C-alpha cells in the first residue's frame, strides 16, 4: 500500500528537480532555447517494458502516441520521437531480448495505428507494412526462441521468426472470432504453442498457428481477455485476466477455474502476472487497484487503489516491479509491492485544460483525471506539485479556473453546470450559487384620458439562473477584483468576490463563450459570443460591438495590447489571425509570415510592448514590430499540440505553452530571436 505519509499529505510532490527536462536532449538544452517539459509529471501511463538484457533500460507509453525511455531504472525519463501522425494509444511494447536497441511498439485507437519499429533505440521509427492501419494491442517474445515474436492485432495473430524482419498472419483470416486479439503469450519450452486472448474468450495453437482451437471451458461467456501469463517453470500452469476476473488453468488452457477473493466491484483485471522469484505470488492489476496473492490465488490483498494498466518485473532485483497507472503515471513497487514510490521525473501524459495566476502562485487543472479534476500549483512554472483536494470536487470535472489578484488562496472554477470557489488554495471547494438581477429599460405606450397616448420608460428586472458555464476570469486591482463568468445566459459580472452577480448588457443577446482581459488589468475586457466580439474599457460597466468581419470563423483567443502601445488588437481564429488598430472598428487578416490557417492562441509579451506570439498547429510564431510581420520560431520538435500560450506577469522572462498531451512547456523569452 502507498505509505501513509504520502497518503495523508495534502500536496504530493511531482517533481524534485529545480530545472525541468527538455523534450529531447540537445547540446544547447541548458540555455532553454527550445521548449522544455515543466510537467506536472505523471498522468495516464498505458504500457511499460523493461529490457531483459539491461534492467536499467525501460520504455513507457501513453495515449496521444507518447513514448518515453529511461536509462537509469526509471528515475528519469526522456520523450522519444515516436511518430505523431497518429495520435493513438501505445498499447504494447517489446524490447528485443537479443538487441537492446531494437524496439517494437503497438499503437491502437487511430486510423494510422499499427506496429512501429526502431532499430536505433527509438531515434527513428518505421511502420511495419503488414500491419499498417490496424490496431496492435499485444506483443510477446518466445523465451526458447528469442527471434520469434508474436503480435495480437485487430486482424488476427501475426508472428515473425527473424526478429521482426518478416511477419506473417498465423491465424485464419476467415475466423471472425479471432480478428480482435487483445492478448498473446508463447509457451516457454515449445514456441509452436501460442495463446491468444480475444474480446470473447481465449484460443490456442499447438502447431505454430496452422490450426487454432477455442479454450474457454470454465470461463464466463463473452469475457474480454486482457492478458495471458504462463508459469515459466511449469508451462502447464496458465493465468488469464479478463473483464470477469482472474482465471487459472493447470492443463495449458483446456479447463479454467476462476480465482476468487477479489471483490466483484474490482473484477475487471487488465493484467495478471506471476512473481518470477516466488511462483506462488501473483499480482492482479484491476481498474480499482493492484491485488497480491501469496498462495497461488487462494486469497488476495489489495496493495494500492489506482487503476493498473501494465506491470513488469525488474529481473535484477527480487520483489521489484514497475506499474503503469491510469492517473498517477509510473510507480516502482519494492518489497513485493508493499513499498511504492513514483517514477515520474520527466514522464508526463496530461491534458491540461486551463491555467491561471492567483496572488504569486500558478495553478493548472487537468479536467479529466479519473473521476475528478487534477489541480496543480507552482511558484516558478517549472516544478509543479499536485494539490490533494479533500472535498467539494468528487465526480466534478472542471473546465476553467481563475485566481484573484493579490490572493494566492482564493480561486474560482467552473464545471459545465456549476461555479466553485476555494479559499484554501484548492484543498476544499464549495459550490457558489449564481443568481442575480439584470435591470433594463423598456418603452411602454399607455392610453390616457381623451384618447391620448403617452410613452414612458418602464424598468424591467430579469432574474438570472445560468444552466451552463464556459469560463470564469478575474480582472481589476488587488483591492477591487472584478469577476467575469461566461454562461449560456450571457456574461455575468461580480464586484463583491462572487457574492452577487449581474448580467452585463454586452449586446451579445444570449450565450457568451469566453472573456479575455488585458494583461495589465487596465479595464479593457473582450467578450466572445459565437463569432461576435464585444469590448469594454471600464471593467464591464459599458460595452460596444467590435463588428468582427469573419462571421464564419471560430474565435479561439483575443490578445489586448499594452495600454501605451500602438500595436493592434489581435484575434486568433480558425481562419487565421486578424488585427484591428482602431479598437475593433475595422479589421484586416494578417498574411505576412504566418499561415492563413487555424491559430490556436495569441498573446502579447509581458515585457516587450511590440512583441507578440502566436501558435498554429504547434508551431510558434513571433512578431517584434507590433504584429505587422511574423516569423516562425525554430524548434527541433515536431507535432506539438499547443492550445494556449501563457506569460504570467510575475515570470515575464519565460514563455509558457499549455498542451493537449504533455502538460506545460516553457522556454526562455530572451533566446527567442
* Lowest mean pLDDT across 45-54, 232-241, 345-354, 473-482: 473-482
Mean of the pLDDT values across residues 110-139?
A: 94
Per-residue H/E/C for 549-601: CCCCCCEEEEECCCCCCCCCEEEEECCEEEEECCCCCCCEEECCCCCCCCCCE
Q: Count other Cβ atoms within 10 Å, centred on residue 111.
A: 8
Question: Can you give the pLDDT at residue 23?
Answer: 53
- What pLDDT shows up at residue 9? 35
Q: What percent of the chain has pLDDT over 70?
A: 90
Q: How do residues 558-613 score in pLDDT, each as one tens digit?
A: 999 988 888 999 999 999 999 999 989 999 999 999 999 999 999 999 888 889 99
The whole-angstrom separation of Cα 101 and Cα 118 is 8
Output Rg (C-alpha) for the chain, integer angstroms.
29
DSSP-assigned states of every residue in 161-180: SSTTSS-EE-S-TT-GGGSS
Lowest mean pLDDT among 55-64, 419-428, 492-501: 492-501
Q: What pLDDT score was predicted for residue 14? A: 35
Instruction: Determine the average pLDDT of the residues in 368-373.
Output: 74
pLDDT per position as a tens digit, 215-253: 999 998 878 999 999 999 999 999 999 999 999 999 999
- What are the Cα distances from residue 239, in Å, to 52, 225, 278, 282? 22, 11, 15, 9
Of 1 and 128, more confident: 128
Which cell numbers hold the place of 246?
482472474
- Residue 103, number of CB atoms within 10 A of its CB: 26
> Which band of pLDDT confidence, cut at 50, 70 and 90, is reported for residue 369?
low
Q: Exposed/middle/buried for 517, CB within 10 Å: 0-12, 13-18, 19+?
A: buried
Pick 3 or 627 by higher pLDDT. 627
Give the Cα separation of 618 and 87 in Å (integer).
14
Residue from 540, 545, 600 nearest 574 by CA? 600
pLDDT, residue 110, reads 84
Q: Give the cell for residue 642.
A: 499547443
What average pLDDT does range 14-36 have in this prediction?
A: 50
Q: What H or E segment, with its residue span, contains residue 5? A: helix 4-8
Q: Rounded CA gap, 412 and 313, in Å?
A: 44
The answer, yes or no, to whether residue 182 has pLDDT greater than 60, is yes
For the chain, the straight-line distance linking the first and the last C-alpha, in angstroms and rounded, comes to: 50
Q: What is the pLDDT at residue 26? A: 40
Question: Omega of the bond prior to 40 within 30 degrees of 0, cis?
Answer: yes
Burial of 109 (0-12, 13-18, 19+ CB in 10 A): middle
Higher-pLDDT residue of 531, 186: 186
Edge-to-edge strand list for the sheet holding 642-646: 21-22, 36-39, 664-668, 654-659, 642-646
> Average pLDDT for residues 647-661, to the nearest whole number?
92
Question: How does residue 4 score in pLDDT terms, banded at 50, 70 and 90?
Answer: very low
User: Is 552 a residue whose pLDDT tops 80?
Assistant: yes
Give the pLDDT score at 341: 92
C-alpha cell at 413: 472554477
CA distance 611 to 672: 11
- What is the residue-wise DSSP string for 644-662? EEE--TT-TTEEEEEESSB
CA atoms of 483 and 476, how far apart (whole Å): 9
- Cross-strand bridge partners of residue 21: 37
How high is the pLDDT of residue 498?
86
Residues 297-329 pLDDT 10s? 999 999 999 899 999 999 888 889 999 999 899
Contact 69, 81 (CB under 8 A): no
Task: List residues bridging with 391 in a β-sheet.
Answer: 428
Cα–Cα distance measured from residue 658 to residue 656, given in angstroms and rounded to the nearest whole number: 7
- pLDDT tier at 22, thresholds 50, 70, 90: low
More confident position, 600 or 519? 600
Strand order in the sheet with 385-387: 11-13, 385-387, 372-378, 361-369, 354-358
User: Any bridge partners for residue 461, and if so which?
Assistant: 439
Q: According to the model, what pLDDT value does residue 12 have?
A: 36
Q: How many helices (H) and strands (E) does the chain have?
A: 1, 62
**Is 440's pLDDT higher than 60?**
no
* 3-class secondary-structure state, position 4: helix
Inform me whether the pLDDT recorded for 18 exceeds 50. Answer: no
Say yes or no to pLDDT of 428 above 80: yes
Q: What is the pLDDT of residue 452?
A: 65
How confident is residue 518, by pLDDT bands cut at 50, 70 and 90? Answer: confident
Residue 20 binned pLDDT confidence (cut-offs 50, 70, 90): very low
Q: Quick one: average pLDDT of 533-557?
A: 91
CA–CA–CA angle 596, 599, 601 (5° rounding): 150
Please indicate whether residue 355 or residue 547 has the higher confidence score (pLDDT): 355
The whole-angstrom separation of Cα 330 and Cα 503 is 46
Per-residue pLDDT band for 76 (boundaries 50, 70, 90) equals very high
pLDDT digits (tens, 9 = 90+) for 441-488: 555 556 566 666 666 655 556 677 788 888 889 888 777 889 999 999
| Integer CA distances (angstroms), 277 to 48, 189, 296, 314, 336, in order | 20, 18, 13, 11, 10
- Tell me the pLDDT of the chain averaged across its residues: 88
**Element holding 7 (H helix, E strand):** helix 4-8
Q: What percent of the chain is modeled with pLDDT above 90?
A: 67
pLDDT score at 447: 59
Is the pLDDT at 200 greater than 90? The verdict is no
Amino acid at each position: 500500500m502507498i505509505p501513509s505519509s504520502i497518503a495523508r499529505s495534502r500536496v504530493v510532490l511531482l517533481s524534485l528537480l529545480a530545472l525541468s527536462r527538455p523534450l529531447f536532449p540537445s547540446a544547447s538544452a541548458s540555455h532553454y532555447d527550445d521548449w522544455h517539459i515543466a510537467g506536472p509529471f505523471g498522468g495516464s501511463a498505458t504500457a511499460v517494458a523493461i529490457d531483459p538484457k539491461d534492467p536499467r533500460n525501460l520504455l513507457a507509453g501513453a495515449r496521444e502516441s507518447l513514448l518515453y525511455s529511461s536509462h537509469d531504472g526509471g528515475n528519469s525519463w526522456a520523450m522519444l520521437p515516436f511518430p505523431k501522425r497518429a495520435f493513438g494509444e501505445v498499447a504494447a511494447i517489446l524490447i528485443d531480448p537479443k538487441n537492446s536497441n531494437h524496439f517494437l511498439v503497438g499503437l491502437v485507437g487511430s486510423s494510422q495505428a499499427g506496429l512501429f519499429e526502431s532499430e536505433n533505440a527509438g531515434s527513428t521509427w518505421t511502420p511495419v507494412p503488414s500491419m499498417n492501419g490496424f490496431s496492435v494491442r499485444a506483443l510477446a517474445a518466445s523465451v526458447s526462441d528469442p527471434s520469434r515474436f508474436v503480435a495480437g492485432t485487430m486482424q488476427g495473430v501475426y508472428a515473425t521468426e527473424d526478429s521482426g524482419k518478416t511477419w506473417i498472419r498465423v491465424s485464419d483470416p476467415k475466423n471472425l472470432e479471432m480478428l480482435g486479439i487483445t492478448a498473446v503469450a508463447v509457451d516457454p519450452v515449445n514456441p509452436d504453442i501460442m495463446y491468444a486472448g480475444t474480446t470473447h474468450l481465449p484460443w490456442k495453437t499447438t502447431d505454430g498457428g496452422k490450426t487454432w482451437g477455442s479454450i474457454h471451458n470454465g470461463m464466463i461467456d463473452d469475457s474480454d481477455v486482457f492478458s495471458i501469463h504462463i508459469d515459466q517453470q511449469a508451462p502447464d500452469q496458465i493465468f488469464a485476466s479478463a473483464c470477469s476476473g482472474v482465471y487459472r488453468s493447470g492443463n495449458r488452457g483446456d479447463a479454467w477455474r476462476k480465482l476468487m477473493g477479489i471483490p466483484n466491484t474490482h473484477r475487471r483485471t487488465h493484467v495478471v502476472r506471476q512473481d518470477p522469484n516466488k511462483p506462488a505470488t501473483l499480482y492482479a492489476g484491476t481498474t480499482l487497484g493492484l491485488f497480491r496473492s501469496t498462495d497461488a490465488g487462494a486469497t488476495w490483498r489489495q496493495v494500492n487503489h489506482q487503476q493498473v494498466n501494465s506491470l513488469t518485473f525488474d529481473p535484477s532485483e527480487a520483489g521489484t516491479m514497475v506499474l503503469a497507472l491510469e492517473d498517477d503515471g509510473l510507480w516502482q513497487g519494492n518489497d513485493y509491492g508493499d513499498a511504492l514510490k513514483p517514477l515520474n521525473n520527466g514522464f508526463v501524459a496530461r491534458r491540461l485544460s486551463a491555467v491561471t495566476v492567483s496572488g504569486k502562485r500558478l495553478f493548472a487543472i487537468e479536467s479529466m483525471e479519473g473521476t475528478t479534476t487534477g489541480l496543480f500549483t507552482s511558484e516558478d512554472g517549472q516544478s509543479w506539485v499536485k494539490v490533494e483536494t479533500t472535498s467539494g470536487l468528487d465526480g466534478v470535472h472542471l473546465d476553467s479556473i481563475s485566481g484573484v489578484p493579490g490572493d494566492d488562496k482564493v480561486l474560482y472554477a467552473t464545471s459545465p453546470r456549476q461555479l466553485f470557489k476555494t479559499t484554501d488554495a484548492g484543498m476544499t471547494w464549495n459550490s457558489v450559487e449564481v443568481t442575480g438581477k439584470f435591470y433594463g429599460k423598456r418603452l411602454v405606450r399607455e392610453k390616457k384620458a381623451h384618447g391620448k397616448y403617452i410613452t414612458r420608460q418602464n424598468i424591467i428586472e430579469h432574474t438570472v439562473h445560468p444552466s451552463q458555464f464556459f469560463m470564469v476570469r478575474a480582472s481589476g486591482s488587488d483591492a477591487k477584483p472584478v469577476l467575469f463568468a461566461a454562461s449560456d445566459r450571457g456574461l455575468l459580472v461580480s464586484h463583491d468576490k462572487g457574492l452577487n452577480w449581474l448580467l452585463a448588457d454586452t449586446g451579445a443577446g444570449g450565450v457568451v463563450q469566453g472573456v479575455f482581459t488585458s494583461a495589465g488589468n487596465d479595464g479593457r475586457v473582450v467578450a466572445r459570443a459565437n463569432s461576435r466580439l464585444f469590448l469594454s474599457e471600464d471593467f464591464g460597466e459599458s460595452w460596444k460591438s467590435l463588428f468582427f468581419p469573419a462571421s464564419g470563423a471560430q474565435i479561439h483567443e483575443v490578445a489586448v495590447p499594452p495600454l501605451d502601445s500602438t500595436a493592434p488588437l489581435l484575434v486568433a481564429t480558425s481562419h487565421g489571425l486578424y488585427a484591428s488598430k482602431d479598437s475593433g472598428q475595422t479589421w484586416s487578416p494578417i498574411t505576412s509570415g504566418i499561415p492563413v490557417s487555424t491559430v490556436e492562441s495569441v498573446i502579447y509579451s509581458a515585457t516587450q510592448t511590440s512583441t507578440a506570439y502566436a501558435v498554429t498547429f504547434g508551431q510558434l510564431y513571433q512578431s517584434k514590430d507590433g504584429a505587422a510581420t511574423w516569423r516562425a520560431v525554430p524548434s527541433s520538435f515536431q507535432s506539438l499540440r499547443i492550445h494556449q500560450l501563457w506569460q504570467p506577469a510575475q515570470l515575464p522572462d519565460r514563455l509558457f505553452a499549455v498542451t493537449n498531451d504533455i502538460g506545460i512547456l516553457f522556454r526562455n523569452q530572451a533566446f527567442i530571436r
